[in-house]
Amino acid sequence: MVKTNSSPEIKLFNIALGLAIFTIGYNLIEGLLSTYFGYEDESLALFGFGADSFIEVISGVGIVHMVHRIKRNPESSRDRFEKLALQITGFAFYLLVLVLLITSAYNIWTGHKPVTTLFGVVISGISIVVMLLLVYWKKKVGRRLESDPIIADANCTLVCVYMSVILLISSGIFELTGLAYIDSIGTLGLAYFAFKEGKECFEKASSDKYCSCD
Protein backbone atom coordinates (compact mmCIF):
# COMPACT_ATOMS: atom_id res chain seq x y z
CA MET A 1 0.00 0.00 0.00
CA VAL A 2 1.30 3.46 -0.92
CA LYS A 3 1.09 6.32 1.53
CA THR A 4 1.01 9.90 0.30
CA ASN A 5 0.82 11.92 3.49
CA SER A 6 4.51 12.81 3.65
CA SER A 7 6.63 15.17 1.57
CA PRO A 8 9.26 12.57 0.52
CA GLU A 9 6.54 10.37 -1.00
CA ILE A 10 5.01 13.31 -2.83
CA LYS A 11 8.45 14.07 -4.28
CA LEU A 12 8.80 10.46 -5.39
CA PHE A 13 5.44 10.61 -7.14
CA ASN A 14 6.53 13.82 -8.86
CA ILE A 15 9.70 12.05 -10.03
CA ALA A 16 7.59 9.18 -11.35
CA LEU A 17 5.39 11.67 -13.16
CA GLY A 18 8.43 13.42 -14.61
CA LEU A 19 9.85 10.10 -15.85
CA ALA A 20 6.53 9.29 -17.54
CA ILE A 21 6.42 12.69 -19.25
CA PHE A 22 10.06 12.34 -20.33
CA THR A 23 9.24 8.93 -21.82
CA ILE A 24 6.49 10.51 -23.93
CA GLY A 25 8.80 13.27 -25.17
CA TYR A 26 11.61 10.86 -25.97
CA ASN A 27 9.33 8.46 -27.85
CA LEU A 28 7.89 11.34 -29.85
CA ILE A 29 11.35 12.51 -30.97
CA GLU A 30 12.48 8.93 -31.56
CA GLY A 31 9.37 8.24 -33.63
CA LEU A 32 9.88 11.31 -35.81
CA LEU A 33 13.54 10.55 -36.48
CA SER A 34 13.02 6.83 -37.01
CA THR A 35 10.13 7.14 -39.44
CA TYR A 36 11.89 9.90 -41.37
CA PHE A 37 15.20 8.08 -41.78
CA GLY A 38 13.43 4.74 -42.18
CA TYR A 39 11.47 6.16 -45.11
CA GLU A 40 14.45 7.97 -46.63
CA ASP A 41 16.78 4.95 -46.31
CA GLU A 42 14.04 2.44 -47.18
CA SER A 43 14.60 0.55 -43.93
CA LEU A 44 11.34 -1.10 -42.91
CA ALA A 45 12.75 -2.13 -39.52
CA LEU A 46 13.66 1.46 -38.64
CA PHE A 47 10.35 2.80 -39.95
CA GLY A 48 8.42 0.17 -37.97
CA PHE A 49 10.47 0.99 -34.89
CA GLY A 50 9.45 4.63 -35.28
CA ALA A 51 5.79 3.71 -35.69
CA ASP A 52 6.03 1.70 -32.48
CA SER A 53 7.47 4.76 -30.73
CA PHE A 54 4.40 6.79 -31.72
CA ILE A 55 2.14 4.11 -30.25
CA GLU A 56 4.21 4.24 -27.07
CA VAL A 57 3.33 7.95 -26.89
CA ILE A 58 -0.36 7.02 -26.67
CA SER A 59 0.47 4.46 -24.00
CA GLY A 60 2.54 7.08 -22.18
CA VAL A 61 -0.43 9.41 -21.87
CA GLY A 62 -2.26 6.65 -20.03
CA ILE A 63 0.77 6.11 -17.77
CA VAL A 64 0.90 9.82 -16.87
CA HIS A 65 -2.79 9.67 -15.99
CA MET A 66 -2.19 6.51 -13.94
CA VAL A 67 0.64 8.04 -11.89
CA HIS A 68 -1.46 11.16 -11.25
CA ARG A 69 -4.38 8.96 -10.15
CA ILE A 70 -2.44 6.83 -7.68
CA LYS A 71 -0.73 9.96 -6.37
CA ARG A 72 -4.14 11.30 -5.39
CA ASN A 73 -5.58 7.97 -4.27
CA PRO A 74 -3.27 4.93 -4.03
CA GLU A 75 -6.22 2.60 -3.46
CA SER A 76 -8.08 3.64 -6.62
CA SER A 77 -8.64 1.20 -9.49
CA ARG A 78 -7.89 1.70 -13.17
CA ASP A 79 -10.45 4.18 -14.51
CA ARG A 80 -12.25 4.56 -17.84
CA PHE A 81 -9.62 6.89 -19.34
CA GLU A 82 -6.81 4.41 -18.69
CA LYS A 83 -8.82 1.50 -20.06
CA LEU A 84 -9.67 3.48 -23.20
CA ALA A 85 -6.02 4.45 -23.66
CA LEU A 86 -5.03 0.79 -23.30
CA GLN A 87 -7.64 -0.33 -25.83
CA ILE A 88 -6.59 2.31 -28.37
CA THR A 89 -2.94 1.36 -27.84
CA GLY A 90 -3.76 -2.33 -28.24
CA PHE A 91 -5.61 -1.74 -31.53
CA ALA A 92 -2.72 0.40 -32.78
CA PHE A 93 -0.20 -2.34 -31.97
CA TYR A 94 -2.27 -4.97 -33.76
CA LEU A 95 -2.62 -2.72 -36.80
CA LEU A 96 1.14 -2.14 -36.78
CA VAL A 97 1.74 -5.90 -36.64
CA LEU A 98 -0.49 -6.43 -39.67
CA VAL A 99 1.27 -3.73 -41.68
CA LEU A 100 4.74 -4.96 -40.72
CA LEU A 101 3.93 -8.57 -41.60
CA ILE A 102 2.50 -7.68 -45.00
CA THR A 103 5.28 -5.25 -45.88
CA SER A 104 8.11 -7.50 -44.71
CA ALA A 105 6.64 -10.42 -46.69
CA TYR A 106 6.49 -8.18 -49.76
CA ASN A 107 10.09 -7.04 -49.26
CA ILE A 108 11.27 -10.63 -48.93
CA TRP A 109 9.32 -11.59 -52.05
CA THR A 110 10.79 -8.75 -54.10
CA GLY A 111 14.28 -8.96 -52.59
CA HIS A 112 14.13 -5.34 -51.43
CA LYS A 113 17.09 -4.05 -49.43
CA PRO A 114 17.58 -0.73 -47.59
CA VAL A 115 19.86 1.96 -48.95
CA THR A 116 21.61 2.03 -45.57
CA THR A 117 20.83 1.08 -41.97
CA LEU A 118 23.38 3.35 -40.34
CA PHE A 119 20.72 5.48 -38.66
CA GLY A 120 19.10 2.30 -37.34
CA VAL A 121 22.36 1.48 -35.57
CA VAL A 122 22.66 4.99 -34.11
CA ILE A 123 19.04 5.40 -33.02
CA SER A 124 18.77 1.91 -31.52
CA GLY A 125 22.05 2.33 -29.63
CA ILE A 126 20.86 5.57 -28.06
CA SER A 127 17.46 4.05 -27.31
CA ILE A 128 19.00 1.10 -25.45
CA VAL A 129 20.93 3.41 -23.14
CA VAL A 130 18.00 5.78 -22.52
CA MET A 131 15.46 3.01 -21.93
CA LEU A 132 17.72 1.09 -19.56
CA LEU A 133 18.18 4.27 -17.50
CA LEU A 134 14.40 4.77 -17.47
CA VAL A 135 13.85 1.19 -16.34
CA TYR A 136 16.36 1.67 -13.53
CA TRP A 137 14.85 4.93 -12.25
CA LYS A 138 11.23 3.79 -12.62
CA LYS A 139 11.93 0.60 -10.67
CA LYS A 140 13.84 2.52 -8.02
CA VAL A 141 10.97 4.97 -7.52
CA GLY A 142 8.35 2.22 -7.69
CA ARG A 143 10.10 0.13 -5.04
CA ARG A 144 10.52 3.09 -2.70
CA LEU A 145 6.83 3.84 -3.06
CA GLU A 146 5.93 0.14 -2.91
CA SER A 147 3.84 0.81 -6.02
CA ASP A 148 3.05 -2.20 -8.20
CA PRO A 149 1.71 -0.03 -11.07
CA ILE A 150 4.94 1.98 -11.35
CA ILE A 151 7.09 -1.16 -11.15
CA ALA A 152 4.92 -2.78 -13.83
CA ASP A 153 5.45 0.27 -16.06
CA ALA A 154 9.20 -0.09 -15.58
CA ASN A 155 9.03 -3.74 -16.63
CA CYS A 156 7.03 -2.78 -19.72
CA THR A 157 9.74 -0.28 -20.66
CA LEU A 158 12.07 -3.28 -20.96
CA VAL A 159 10.11 -4.31 -24.07
CA CYS A 160 11.39 -1.13 -25.74
CA VAL A 161 14.92 -2.27 -24.89
CA TYR A 162 14.32 -5.65 -26.53
CA MET A 163 12.97 -3.99 -29.68
CA SER A 164 15.94 -1.64 -29.77
CA VAL A 165 18.29 -4.63 -29.55
CA ILE A 166 16.53 -6.29 -32.48
CA LEU A 167 16.86 -3.10 -34.53
CA LEU A 168 20.51 -2.75 -33.56
CA ILE A 169 21.35 -6.34 -34.54
CA SER A 170 19.49 -6.30 -37.87
CA SER A 171 20.77 -2.84 -38.80
CA GLY A 172 24.30 -3.68 -37.74
CA ILE A 173 24.40 -6.94 -39.70
CA PHE A 174 23.10 -5.27 -42.85
CA GLU A 175 25.50 -2.35 -42.54
CA LEU A 176 28.46 -4.73 -42.16
CA THR A 177 27.47 -7.43 -44.64
CA GLY A 178 24.67 -6.14 -46.88
CA LEU A 179 22.93 -9.44 -46.16
CA ALA A 180 19.63 -9.69 -48.03
CA TYR A 181 16.40 -9.94 -46.06
CA ILE A 182 17.99 -9.13 -42.69
CA ASP A 183 16.05 -5.85 -42.48
CA SER A 184 12.81 -7.73 -43.09
CA ILE A 185 13.77 -10.42 -40.58
CA GLY A 186 14.40 -7.69 -38.00
CA THR A 187 10.99 -6.27 -38.85
CA LEU A 188 9.37 -9.62 -38.06
CA GLY A 189 11.08 -9.54 -34.67
CA LEU A 190 9.60 -6.10 -34.01
CA ALA A 191 6.19 -7.38 -35.08
CA TYR A 192 6.44 -10.20 -32.54
CA PHE A 193 7.02 -7.81 -29.64
CA ALA A 194 4.38 -5.38 -30.95
CA PHE A 195 1.88 -8.25 -30.90
CA LYS A 196 2.82 -9.10 -27.31
CA GLU A 197 2.41 -5.45 -26.31
CA GLY A 198 -0.99 -5.29 -27.97
CA LYS A 199 -2.11 -8.43 -26.16
CA GLU A 200 -0.82 -7.03 -22.88
CA CYS A 201 -2.81 -3.83 -23.39
CA PHE A 202 -6.09 -5.67 -23.84
CA GLU A 203 -5.38 -7.87 -20.82
CA LYS A 204 -4.79 -4.80 -18.68
CA ALA A 205 -7.89 -3.05 -20.04
CA SER A 206 -10.09 -5.97 -19.03
CA SER A 207 -8.86 -6.18 -15.44
CA ASP A 208 -7.28 -4.18 -12.62
CA LYS A 209 -4.12 -6.27 -12.64
CA TYR A 210 -0.77 -4.71 -13.49
CA CYS A 211 1.02 -7.17 -15.73
CA SER A 212 4.80 -7.32 -15.81
CA CYS A 213 5.17 -7.50 -19.61
CA ASP A 214 7.20 -10.72 -19.36
- Flag whether pLDDT at 117 surpasses 50: yes
Q: Is the pTM of this model over 0.85?
A: yes
Does pLDDT of 78 surpass 90? Answer: no
- Residue 208: closest CA among 148, 135, 138: 148
Give the C-alpha separation, 159 to 10, whole Å.
Answer: 28
pLDDT at 86 exceeding the cut of 50: yes
pLDDT on residue 207: 73
Spell out the domain ranges in the chain.
7-205
How far is the CA of 149 from the CAs of 17, 37, 68, 75, in angstroms? 12, 35, 12, 11
Q: What is the pLDDT of residues 25-59, one digit of tens each?
A: 999 999 999 999 999 999 999 999 999 999 999 99
Residue among 96, 98, 67, 85 at smallest CA distance from 4: 67
Statement: residue 138 has pLDDT above 70: yes
Confidence of residue 209 (pLDDT cuts 50, 70, 90): low
- Do residues 49 and 41 make contact, with C-beta atoms less than 8 angstroms apart? no
Torsion of CA 49, 53, 55, 59, to 10 degrees: 140
- Mean of the per-residue pLDDT values for the chain? 90
Among 51, 63, 56, smallest CA distance to 167 is for 51
Give percent of the chain with pLDDT exceeding 70: 94
* Per-residue confidence (pLDDT) for residue 6, from 0 to 100: 55
Question: In this structure, are residues 42 and 114 in contact, taking their beta carbons and an 8 Å threshold?
Answer: yes
Q: In this predicted structure, what is the pLDDT of residue 16?
A: 92
Has residue 166 got a pLDDT over 90?
A: yes
Question: In this structure, are residues 158 and 209 in contact, taking their beta carbons and an 8 Å threshold?
Answer: no
pLDDT tier, 208 (very low <50, low <70, confident <90, very high otherwise): low
